[in-house]
Amino acid sequence: MALQTTSTRDALVAEVRKQILSGELTPGEPLTENGLAATFGVARPTVRSALQVLVGRHLVRQSGGRSLIVPVLTEDDVRDLFFVRTPLELEAVRRIVEDGISPTTAERALVTLESLPGDASWADRVDAHTTFHVALVDSVGSTRLSRIYPALQEEMQLCLAQLRASYPGSQDLAEEHRELLSAIRSGDLDRATTTMRTHLERAVQGLLS
């Protein structure tokens, strides 16, 4: 039997990431070595290493000198992220519909999202949402698309973390994605691409409002 171990640094990365994605740590909030060391009872070198990982994953950003903060996504950030994301997902939808691909992994991911209890954390919903979108893209079967797309995921999750107010009901996020998957499964290319475009545009509008 293989045993899995988690280092203190990795555990800290996971916890800080969860707090960022759940909204417990808000955009612009400073993240200091002393503060995190005291909060979690770990050594400063461990905190420093964890923060470096989070910076590399775009969940923490340097702001003014050496201080680190939870990123505040500017209008330019949002537009640029979706400028890259939108054509990738629209192309994935087109290929799925035109090639008659059955996105079964995406269906399973959506069922997981729908099955989350009402009191599940927003971070858990963000993770399930991301798994759905990655599975949808992966279903195309393009090695390079599946290599490129995940590079956007952390920032996409950061966006969704800041969209919590747009989905007040516990099933709102899942219902929107069920509608999206139904449109893709319909085999109607116009319906599928229009629904995906509307889905992404709603996210942009929510972030910019």
Residue 31: CATH number of its domain:
1.10.10.10
- Tell whether the model's pLDDT for residue 4 goes beyond 70: no
- pLDDT, average across residues 31-56: 92
**pLDDT of the residue at 156:** 87
Range of the domain at 181: 75-208
Q: Phi, psi at residue 62, to the nearest 5°?
A: -80, 140
Final residue in a domain of this structure, among 69, 90, 110: 69
- Quick one: 55 and 90 in the same domain? no
- pLDDT, average across residues 149-170: 86
- Quick one: 80 and 47 in the same domain? no
Q: 135 and 113 in contact (C-beta within 8 Å)?
A: no
Mean pLDDT, rounded, of the chain: 91
**pLDDT of the residue at 6:** 61
- Quick one: 91 and 114 in the same domain? yes
- Alpha-carbon span 162 to 182, nearest angstrom: 26
**pLDDT of the residue at 3:** 40
Kindly indicate the confidence band of residue 154, based on its pLDDT and cuts at 50, 70 and 90: confident
C-alpha of 9 from chain center:
21
Characterize 61-73 residue by residue with b for buried, 16 or more Cβ atoms within 10 angstroms of its Cβ, and e for exposed.
beeeeeebbbbeb
- Quick one: 82 and 59 in the same domain? no
CA angle 69, 73, 75 (to 5 degrees): 150
- Quick one: 22 and 119 in the same domain? no
> Comparing C-alpha atoms, which of 209, 130, 145 is closest to residue 177?
130
Instruction: List the structure tokens of 51.
Output: 């923060």
Q: Which stretch, 10-14, 106-110, 203-207, has highest mean pLDDT?
A: 106-110
The mean-pLDDT minimum among 62-66, 70-74, 77-81, 153-157 falls in: 62-66
- pLDDT, average across residues 62-78: 86
Contacts of 167 (CB under 8 A, 6+ apart): 173, 176
**pLDDT of the residue at 1:** 46
Assign residue 134 the CATH number of its domain. 1.20.120.530
Q: 107 and 78 in contact (C-beta within 8 Å)?
A: no
Structural domain count, the chain: 2
Tell me the H-state helices in the chain: 8-22, 33-40, 44-56, 75-98, 104-115, 122-138, 143-148, 153-161, 172-185, 189-208
- Quick one: 116 and 193 in the same domain? yes
> Model confidence over 182-206: pLDDT tens digits?
999 999 999 999 999 999 999 999 8
Instruction: List the structure tokens of 196.
Output: 């995906």
